[in-house]
Amino acid sequence: MEMPLASLDPSIYREKSGDYISASFGAAPSPLSFVFLISITLRSEKSLKKDPISSRLQYSFFVAMAAEASQSTTEPTATPASISAAPVIPTTHWTQPQDNQGDDEEEEDNFDDGDSALGDDAASTTASLSASILEYRTLHGRTYHSLQGTADHWTPNDDAHLESMDCVHHLLTLLFDNKLYLAPIPEGPKKVLDIGCGTDVHPEAEVIGTDLSPIQPEWVPPNLKFEIDDCTQPWTYAENSQDFIHIRYLFGAIEKWDELYLQAYRACKPGGWVEVVDPSVNLRSDDGSVREGTAMYDWGRLFNEAATINKRTMSMVDDGKRLEDLKKAGFVNVQSRRFKLPATPWAKDDKMRQVGAFAQLAMEQDLDGYAMLLFTNALGWSPQQVTVYLARMRKEMRDMRMQPYFIVESVYGQKP
């Protein structure tokens, strides 16, 4: 049965310059996931080539998509009309830590698909959505999360950026050989905490996804719930309560990573795993095409400079310190895996060319959203200066003579 895609408008994948000639989408439901069949026509310098891409795309926490399935038995979460039902952290959370009473009781050992629905709301310290959470900031025509608490993030929370993050989720899934994580967690985890993105790959688990804004899908698996939370504040999750904690793409948003790792260590069960995934913002090339004087060469330098001014860091991957940071937090069996991520579809390898195609889509879908707030607020640029610079970036990204790539790192460790 085909299902409509509410937020994935195929027109956004038709590049203005003609690089992307057409795109078509189809979707079919499986028990707790969606299968997307995507066909994208790419233009190279010499010829046109059509690449069919098929993959199992799990729910991403950043996907703003309400797929209406008439035969689904999954109950919807809160809609905008009934937003007060959405599970979120109460306003007092931003000033003092709280205990999650629902995590104190021992879990049943015989979890199965039928047990994966959410528990009693009364057993949680979460509360209904306060109006202040919805007081988004509007800057340069884009919306950003509210200034509740001390949370800070430099990217928008509107549809344009969510569509870009959907592409990021898909390209990372391709890059990781259709895996959502690389940590060797055992089968049948009961509690999964996803800081930055949600998943339904384990129907027997209770999965909690957190973010700063209520931007979640209206239809979700019964074992998945969302909470509006600031992960830089004291966590409300009970000690030794989570089998797996997944943290992805929070670069530039965290001031004290060591404190975040300590909180993750506290919440993780003995024997449980924590995985952190982030990219380097520096664009590289092995052939020298990303050279000094190009917009691509300046991309990482500008982001790192802006992050430093904001007392944040985007250099965790380049510094190579996360391996030791996780060990200092107490984790053992810590491993680091690094991947080249082509920023455009220049690679000859089919998989890497597909990854590059989605990376280019992700960036060009919202270059403005990635750069505007940081460059204007931190670097003091005018919006016009940002626009001119991004025009240079787009021109270089469409030049297949350039071979830019990012480095993506996954670091994971186990609590003894």
Cα dist. 331→159, 186, 237, 316, 416 in Å?
A: 37, 17, 18, 18, 7
Higher pLDDT, 171 or 197: 171
**pLDDT-based confidence at 416, cuts 50/70/90?**
very high
Domains of the chain and CATH, by start: 10-414 (3.40.50.150)
Least confident of 48-62, 91-105, 248-262, 272-286: 48-62
Q: Can you give the pTM of this predicted structure?
A: 0.64
254 CB neighbour count, 10 Å cutoff? 20
Tokens standing for residue 50: 């059509």
Query: What pLDDT is recorded for position 164?
Result: 84
Q: Is the pLDDT of residue 215 over 70?
A: no
What does DSSP say about strands 191-195 and 242-248: parallel, antiparallel, or unpaired? Answer: parallel
Q: With 60 as the cut, is the pLDDT of residue 123 above it?
A: no
94 CB-contact burial (10 Å; exposed 0-12 / middle 13-18 / buried 19+): middle
- Give, in degrees to the nearest 5, the angle at Cα 349 between 30 and 62: 40
- Measuring CA to CA, how many Å separate 394 from each of 169, 299, 343, 384? 21, 12, 12, 15
Question: Residue 195 pairs with which residues in a beta bridge?
Answer: 210, 247
Indicate whether 297 pLDDT > 90.
yes
d(Cα 119, Cα 192) in Å, to the nearest integer?
14
pLDDT band at 367 (very low <50, low <70, confident <90, very high): very high
Listed range (30-39, 75-84, 146-155, 345-354) with the worst mean pLDDT = 30-39
Tell me: pLDDT of 94 over 60: no
- CA angle, corner 212, sides to 208 and 218, nearest 5? 60
Residues 6+ apart with CB under 8 A from 338: 317, 407, 408, 409
Tokens of 283: 């664009």
pLDDT for 161 equals 77
DSSP SS3 for 222: coil
CA 10, CA 5: separation in Å to the nearest integer?
Answer: 9
Q: In sequence order, what are the beta bridge partners of 412?
A: 275, 335
More confident residue, 391 or 137: 391
What is the DSSP code (8-state) at residue 32?
Answer: T
Token pair, residue 114, equals 């039928």
Which pLDDT value is given to residue 223?
59
Q: Partners of 79 in the beta sheet?
A: none
Residue 152's pLDDT is 56
- Which range of 1-5, 81-85, 118-122, 128-132 scores highest in mean pLDDT? It is 128-132
pLDDT of amino acid 46: 37
More confident residue, 390 or 85: 390
Per-residue pLDDT band at 263 (split at 50, 70, 90): very high
**DSSP 8-state class, residue 228:** E
In the chain, the percentage of residues whose pLDDT exceeds 90 is 41
Q: What is the rounded average pLDDT of the residues 122-151?
A: 53
pLDDT (tens digit per residue) in 222-243: 655 555 556 677 887 889 999 9
Over the chain, what is the mean pLDDT? 69
Greater model confidence, 152 or 192: 192
Residue given tokens 């205990």 in the structure block: 99
SS3 411: strand
More confident residue, 357 or 251: 357
Query: pLDDT class for 218, splitting at 50, 70, 90?
Result: low
Q: Kindly list the distances between the CA atom of residue 363 and the CA atoms of 35, 269, 405, in Å, as whole numbers in the listed order.
A: 23, 37, 13
Q: Is the pLDDT of residue 353 over 90?
A: yes
